[in-house]
Amino acid sequence: MLSTNSKLIMAKFDIVLASASPRRKTILSQVGLDFTIIASKINEDFSIELKPKAFCEHWAREKANDIAKSHSDKLIIGADTIVIMNDKILGKPKDYKESFAMLKSLSGKTHQVLTGVSLIHFDLGIDFTFTECTDVSICFLTDEEIKKYIYEYKPYDKAGSYGIQDGFSIYVEKINGCFYNVMGFPIFRFHKFYKSIKMEYKLID
Protein backbone atom coordinates (compact mmCIF):
# COMPACT_ATOMS: atom_id res chain seq x y z
CA MET A 1 0.00 0.00 0.00
CA LEU A 2 1.02 3.63 -0.47
CA SER A 3 2.47 5.32 2.58
CA THR A 4 0.42 8.13 4.11
CA ASN A 5 3.51 9.92 5.38
CA SER A 6 3.39 13.15 3.38
CA LYS A 7 5.87 15.01 5.58
CA LEU A 8 8.82 13.57 3.71
CA ILE A 9 9.65 15.81 0.75
CA MET A 10 12.02 14.64 -1.95
CA ALA A 11 13.17 16.17 -5.21
CA LYS A 12 13.60 12.89 -7.01
CA PHE A 13 14.15 9.20 -6.49
CA ASP A 14 15.74 6.56 -8.67
CA ILE A 15 13.61 4.05 -10.56
CA VAL A 16 14.72 0.51 -11.33
CA LEU A 17 13.02 -1.88 -13.74
CA ALA A 18 13.55 -5.42 -12.43
CA SER A 19 13.20 -6.93 -15.89
CA ALA A 20 15.38 -7.50 -18.94
CA SER A 21 12.34 -7.45 -21.25
CA PRO A 22 13.09 -5.22 -24.26
CA ARG A 23 9.38 -4.53 -24.65
CA ARG A 24 8.99 -3.19 -21.11
CA LYS A 25 12.09 -1.09 -21.61
CA THR A 26 10.60 0.36 -24.81
CA ILE A 27 7.22 1.14 -23.24
CA LEU A 28 8.70 2.91 -20.20
CA SER A 29 11.23 4.79 -22.35
CA GLN A 30 8.63 6.10 -24.77
CA VAL A 31 6.86 8.02 -21.98
CA GLY A 32 10.11 9.71 -20.97
CA LEU A 33 10.66 7.84 -17.70
CA ASP A 34 14.24 7.88 -16.43
CA PHE A 35 15.16 4.44 -15.08
CA THR A 36 17.87 1.83 -14.88
CA ILE A 37 17.57 -1.92 -15.42
CA ILE A 38 18.58 -4.53 -12.86
CA ALA A 39 17.03 -7.76 -14.01
CA SER A 40 15.66 -10.05 -11.33
CA LYS A 41 16.90 -13.63 -11.29
CA ILE A 42 13.49 -14.90 -10.13
CA ASN A 43 11.82 -17.40 -12.47
CA GLU A 44 8.16 -18.40 -12.27
CA ASP A 45 7.32 -21.78 -10.81
CA PHE A 46 4.24 -22.92 -12.72
CA SER A 47 3.68 -25.78 -10.28
CA ILE A 48 2.37 -23.47 -7.56
CA GLU A 49 -1.40 -23.62 -7.26
CA LEU A 50 -2.63 -20.05 -7.67
CA LYS A 51 -5.44 -18.51 -9.70
CA PRO A 52 -4.17 -16.53 -12.74
CA LYS A 53 -4.53 -13.08 -11.14
CA ALA A 54 -2.84 -14.19 -7.94
CA PHE A 55 -0.16 -16.00 -9.96
CA CYS A 56 1.03 -13.00 -11.96
CA GLU A 57 0.77 -10.66 -8.94
CA HIS A 58 2.78 -13.10 -6.83
CA TRP A 59 5.63 -13.33 -9.33
CA ALA A 60 5.60 -9.62 -10.15
CA ARG A 61 6.11 -8.87 -6.47
CA GLU A 62 8.72 -11.61 -6.07
CA LYS A 63 10.73 -10.05 -8.90
CA ALA A 64 10.42 -6.53 -7.48
CA ASN A 65 11.22 -7.72 -3.97
CA ASP A 66 14.29 -9.58 -5.23
CA ILE A 67 15.85 -6.26 -6.28
CA ALA A 68 14.28 -4.09 -3.57
CA LYS A 69 16.02 -6.07 -0.81
CA SER A 70 19.36 -4.56 -1.86
CA HIS A 71 17.99 -1.24 -3.19
CA SER A 72 15.59 -0.06 -0.49
CA ASP A 73 16.08 3.61 -1.44
CA LYS A 74 14.81 3.13 -5.00
CA LEU A 75 11.40 2.55 -6.59
CA ILE A 76 11.52 -0.98 -8.01
CA ILE A 77 9.16 -2.09 -10.77
CA GLY A 78 8.49 -5.80 -11.18
CA ALA A 79 6.16 -7.30 -13.80
CA ASP A 80 4.89 -10.68 -14.89
CA THR A 81 2.79 -11.41 -17.98
CA ILE A 82 0.80 -14.57 -18.63
CA VAL A 83 -1.71 -15.72 -21.22
CA ILE A 84 -4.89 -17.50 -20.15
CA MET A 85 -6.70 -19.93 -22.44
CA ASN A 86 -9.59 -21.99 -21.04
CA ASP A 87 -8.42 -21.24 -17.50
CA LYS A 88 -4.96 -22.61 -18.31
CA ILE A 89 -1.89 -20.43 -17.75
CA LEU A 90 0.42 -20.19 -20.75
CA GLY A 91 3.87 -18.85 -19.99
CA LYS A 92 6.89 -18.77 -22.32
CA PRO A 93 7.31 -21.85 -24.51
CA LYS A 94 10.35 -24.02 -23.84
CA ASP A 95 10.77 -25.24 -27.40
CA TYR A 96 9.25 -25.44 -30.87
CA LYS A 97 6.79 -28.18 -29.92
CA GLU A 98 5.41 -26.19 -27.00
CA SER A 99 5.31 -23.00 -29.05
CA PHE A 100 3.31 -24.71 -31.80
CA ALA A 101 0.88 -26.22 -29.29
CA MET A 102 0.28 -22.83 -27.64
CA LEU A 103 -0.46 -21.05 -30.91
CA LYS A 104 -2.67 -23.92 -32.06
CA SER A 105 -4.71 -23.59 -28.85
CA LEU A 106 -5.16 -19.83 -29.43
CA SER A 107 -6.23 -20.22 -33.06
CA GLY A 108 -9.74 -18.93 -33.77
CA LYS A 109 -10.42 -18.09 -30.13
CA THR A 110 -10.36 -15.28 -27.59
CA HIS A 111 -7.91 -15.45 -24.72
CA GLN A 112 -6.86 -13.18 -21.87
CA VAL A 113 -3.51 -11.53 -21.25
CA LEU A 114 -2.79 -10.67 -17.62
CA THR A 115 0.14 -8.57 -16.42
CA GLY A 116 0.89 -8.19 -12.75
CA VAL A 117 2.86 -5.08 -11.82
CA SER A 118 4.50 -4.52 -8.45
CA LEU A 119 6.03 -1.28 -7.19
CA ILE A 120 8.19 -1.33 -4.08
CA HIS A 121 10.14 1.40 -2.32
CA PHE A 122 10.91 0.05 1.13
CA ASP A 123 12.35 3.30 2.56
CA LEU A 124 9.13 5.16 1.73
CA GLY A 125 6.77 2.33 2.66
CA ILE A 126 5.50 1.83 -0.88
CA ASP A 127 4.39 -1.72 -1.61
CA PHE A 128 1.65 -1.90 -4.24
CA THR A 129 0.70 -4.62 -6.74
CA PHE A 130 -2.06 -4.70 -9.36
CA THR A 131 -3.15 -6.71 -12.40
CA GLU A 132 -4.36 -5.57 -15.81
CA CYS A 133 -6.40 -7.88 -18.08
CA THR A 134 -6.91 -7.61 -21.86
CA ASP A 135 -9.02 -9.84 -24.12
CA VAL A 136 -7.34 -10.81 -27.39
CA SER A 137 -9.16 -12.48 -30.30
CA ILE A 138 -7.06 -14.46 -32.78
CA CYS A 139 -8.20 -15.53 -36.24
CA PHE A 140 -7.99 -19.13 -37.43
CA LEU A 141 -4.35 -20.12 -38.02
CA THR A 142 -3.24 -22.82 -40.42
CA ASP A 143 -0.41 -25.13 -39.41
CA GLU A 144 1.77 -23.53 -42.09
CA GLU A 145 1.11 -20.03 -40.73
CA ILE A 146 2.05 -21.16 -37.23
CA LYS A 147 5.23 -22.87 -38.45
CA LYS A 148 6.22 -19.83 -40.52
CA TYR A 149 5.66 -17.45 -37.61
CA ILE A 150 7.71 -19.56 -35.19
CA TYR A 151 10.51 -19.95 -37.74
CA GLU A 152 10.70 -16.22 -38.51
CA TYR A 153 10.16 -14.74 -35.04
CA LYS A 154 11.24 -17.47 -32.60
CA PRO A 155 8.77 -16.30 -29.89
CA TYR A 156 10.30 -18.34 -27.08
CA ASP A 157 10.69 -15.31 -24.82
CA LYS A 158 7.01 -14.33 -25.00
CA ALA A 159 4.06 -15.48 -22.92
CA GLY A 160 1.62 -17.39 -25.11
CA SER A 161 4.35 -17.68 -27.78
CA TYR A 162 3.50 -14.52 -29.71
CA GLY A 163 4.20 -10.80 -29.83
CA ILE A 164 1.33 -8.51 -30.72
CA GLN A 165 3.83 -5.90 -31.90
CA ASP A 166 5.60 -8.16 -34.43
CA GLY A 167 4.49 -10.23 -37.43
CA PHE A 168 1.78 -11.92 -35.39
CA SER A 169 -0.19 -8.65 -35.54
CA ILE A 170 -1.84 -9.73 -38.80
CA TYR A 171 -3.57 -12.56 -36.92
CA VAL A 172 -5.07 -10.39 -34.16
CA GLU A 173 -8.70 -9.71 -35.05
CA LYS A 174 -9.38 -7.42 -32.10
CA ILE A 175 -8.47 -6.60 -28.54
CA ASN A 176 -10.60 -5.39 -25.66
CA GLY A 177 -8.46 -3.49 -23.18
CA CYS A 178 -4.95 -2.10 -23.00
CA PHE A 179 -2.76 -2.82 -26.03
CA TYR A 180 0.45 -2.21 -24.08
CA ASN A 181 -0.65 -4.76 -21.51
CA VAL A 182 -0.48 -7.39 -24.25
CA MET A 183 3.06 -6.22 -25.02
CA GLY A 184 3.94 -6.80 -21.38
CA PHE A 185 3.37 -3.58 -19.45
CA PRO A 186 0.07 -1.69 -18.82
CA ILE A 187 1.52 1.80 -19.01
CA PHE A 188 -1.73 3.69 -18.31
CA ARG A 189 -2.40 1.95 -14.98
CA PHE A 190 1.25 2.22 -13.98
CA HIS A 191 1.49 5.92 -14.81
CA LYS A 192 -1.72 6.70 -12.92
CA PHE A 193 -0.19 5.24 -9.76
CA TYR A 194 3.19 6.83 -10.42
CA LYS A 195 1.51 10.25 -10.65
CA SER A 196 -0.04 9.70 -7.21
CA ILE A 197 3.41 8.94 -5.82
CA LYS A 198 4.82 12.11 -7.37
CA MET A 199 2.06 14.20 -5.82
CA GLU A 200 2.45 12.69 -2.35
CA TYR A 201 6.20 13.09 -2.21
CA LYS A 202 6.32 16.30 -4.24
CA LEU A 203 8.64 14.80 -6.80
CA ILE A 204 9.98 16.65 -9.82
CA ASP A 205 10.90 15.14 -13.18
Q: Which residues pair with 31 in a beta bridge?
A: none
Q: How would you class 147 by CB atoms within 10 Å of its CB: exposed for 0-12, middle for 13-18, buried for 19 or more?
A: middle
Which of 113, 105, 117 minimizes the C-alpha distance to 176?
Answer: 113
Those residues with Cβ within 8 angstroms of residue 190's Cβ, 6 or more apart along the chain or in another chain: 77, 117, 119
Our answer to whether residue 80 is catalytic in this structure is yes
Q: How would you class 101 by CB atoms within 10 Å of its CB: exposed for 0-12, middle for 13-18, buried for 19 or more?
A: middle
Catalytic residue among 80, 135, 157, 205: 80
φ, ψ for residue 10, nearest 5 deg: -125, 150
Q: How far is CA 181 from the centre of its chain?
A: 7
The residues annotated as belonging to the active site are 80
